[in-house]
Amino acid sequence: MNPDLLKLQAYPFERLAQLKANTNPVDLPHIALSIGEPKHQPPQFVLDTLVKNLDKLSNYPATKGILELRTAISQWLEQRFNLSPNRVDAERQVLPVNGTREALFAFVQAVIDKSKPALVVSPNPFYQIYEGAAFLAGTDIHFLNCTKDNGYIPDYDAVAPEVWQQCQLLFICSPGNPTGAVTSKQTLKKLIALADQYDFIIASDECYSELYFAAPPPGLLEVCEEIGRTDFKRCVVFHSLSKRSNLPGLRSGFVAGDAEILKQFLLYRTYHGCAMPVTSQLASIAAWQDERHVIENRALYTEKFDAVLDILSGQLDLYKPDASFYLWPRVEMSDTDFARELFQRTHVTVLPGTFIARPTATGNPGAHHIRMALVAGRAECVEAAKRIRSFLTAGS
């Protein structure tokens, strides 16, 4: 067996199940705020497209995907991120993927050069795939803490030169999971300069980019355009229909950016065996070409955030994020004790912050935090907030 498998920690939801084991929750309907799985209705026109094209399941799909999908993606990128017309080459700079979780993992395997010292640099807390992918690529991961003091964006100026010298891949997540913090254009420009100086790749996980409350979050390719980096050199972005269009089960996303990197990634994926079914590709085209359902989706999240924050204001140390569908409040007791007691006394599940962060020399930034995913319907989220408020009030 691959010895690097021994480096993997239990996935957060396995740990959460263990934490809740042997508890006897109160007899109330369970409300899960722990998993970031969208619960809003998927667009009916996407479902109709799936049904209409079921006959395409008789065709082997190409790893590169059909040109019509890559074109729809390139046009969406150009419109959403203020890129020049025809800036994104659908032939060379876009690859459809079966959800970004699969793609993020595979990307690390493809780009890490194990013949020399290598680091993957990641925010902390983080999406667990970053760590697992690094370990199974035979390299190590260096964490940059995201805390209230730095606005939940890593302090890149404090990173030691020797870390950048060994860095082969930098993960950024904007909007952040779980903090919802958005990386500014100024910071993205700084990171591109660092990538040039130290010769590493930037992988920008932008899967929450369409769930915002005010201004649309900027993207890495958008900043490339502004500084004249029209080849997107060293820059790759990851996007998904899971959050944007409430289609987590479609397993549809894409990778876009540096054509030379994507050429090698396509080679890897050809052997990896991960082509998206043509039926799913046609449904994805329909989703990427429509913005009305995305606007409606944002409105639903805005209503829920406003309602939940109104209920919990003054009860929890929390804030409205820039984007995403998470709340990341601080709690006084340990995050694991809080989650376990909350579940037992209210039958509401939240995710302890330490399950999605790692200890560092300056502490674990997930400690005394919980992640709350406002993915259920408004009524359920409001009911969960009321139960949490009662739990907090009873304990004060």
Query: What is the radius of gyration, based on Cα positions, of the chain?
Result: 21
Q: What is the mean pLDDT of the chain?
A: 96
317: β partners: 330
Interval 243-299: pLDDT, tens: 999 999 999 999 999 999 999 999 999 998 889 999 999 999 999 999 999 999 999
The residue behind tokens 């996303």 is 253
- Checking if the pLDDT of 200 tops 80, the result is yes
Interval 115-143: pLDDT, tens: 998 999 999 999 999 999 999 999 999 99
pLDDT above 70 as % of the chain: 99
Q: How far apart are CA 222 and CA 174, in angstroms?
A: 13
The domain defined by 3-41+293-395 carries CATH number 3.90.1150.10: yes
Q: What is the β-pairing status of strands 348-349 and 31-32? A: parallel
pLDDT of residue 396: 52
Domain boundaries, the chain: 3-41+293-395, 58-290
The CATH number given to 58-290 is 3.40.640.10
* 42, burial (CB in 10 Å: exposed 0-12, middle 13-18, buried 19+): buried
Interval 266-276: pLDDT, tens: 999 999 888 99
pLDDT band at 4; cut points 50, 70, 90: confident
pLDDT of residue 395: 63
pLDDT of residue 208: 97
Diameter over CA atoms, the chain: 62
